[in-house]
Amino acid sequence: MEFHELKAFATHRDNFEIRVITHAGSHCYQVELEDMEGARHTLERRGKPMLFRSLEDVYLELKRAGIHRAYLVQYVPQDEVIGRETHYHDPLTSRMPLVF
């Protein structure tokens, strides 16, 4: 999903969730939108996923789109390595609410 599509989506709908995704050991963040049908859309620029170097950069970009809430999700590879089932999308288990 391109930035202008995200902005239009956020303007006309209110039933969606924004996730700021990072991986353990990484200093980059991606933004993902999940709509009410459960489809996930990664924020892109010219057809390539956008990567942000800081949460502040993410906040500024989302504010430009009129979004002021998101969830921070950190993927930890150890869950898969030790055979534990991952619960990244379960409420309040591995997500932290962000308000900016």
Tokens 């789109």 map to which residue?
65
Q: What's the pLDDT at 49?
A: 93
Look up tokens 């620029």; give the residue: 45
Residues lower than pLDDT 50 in the chain: 91-92
The Cα-based distances of 74 to 14, 23, 29, 98, 100 in angstroms read 24, 5, 9, 13, 18
- pLDDT value of position 63: 95
Q: How far apart are CA 14 and CA 1, in angstroms?
A: 17
pLDDT at residue 14, as a whole number: 80
Structure tokens at 3: 């930035």
